[in-house]
């Protein structure tokens, strides 16, 4: 494989690349290879794999009693009414 040196990366760009690589659990090298592949049209495009984190703060916030109450409500809605479907 060919090695390429990239010059002129300012500290702000380096820090941003480092944060992105860390958040994607990739090495800096892998992140930059992925960016290059995508930008020149030879990268694998992921479909339907976008990760959303806007509701993370709500995850795991139900108490056991709240969960039971919600489950009962869902189960009640799943019951078939014989008068409507008979």
d(CA 38, CA 40): 6
Q: What angle do CA 71, 73, 79 make, to 5 degrees?
A: 105
Distance, C-alpha 54 to centroid of its chain: 10
Q: Which tokens in the block code for residue 4? A: 């390429």
Look up the pTM and report it. 0.50
- What pLDDT, in 10s, does the model give residues 6-35? 999 999 999 999 999 999 999 999 999 999
The phi, psi pair for 29, rounded to 5°, reads: -60, -45
| Residue 64, token pair as written in the block | 């056991």
Q: Which of 68 and 49 is assigned the larger pLDDT?
A: 68
């Amino acid at each position: 494989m060919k090695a390429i040196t990239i010059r002129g990366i300012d500290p702000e760009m380096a820090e941003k690349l480092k944060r992105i690589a860390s958040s994607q659990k990739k090495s800096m090298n892998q992140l930059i290879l992925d960016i290059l592949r995508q930008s020149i049209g030879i990268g694998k495009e992921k479909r339907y794999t976008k990760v959303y984190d806007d509701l993370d703060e709500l995850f795991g916030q139900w108490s056991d009693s709240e969960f039971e109450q919600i489950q009962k409500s869902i189960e009640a809605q799943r019951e078939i009414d014989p008068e409507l479907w008979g």
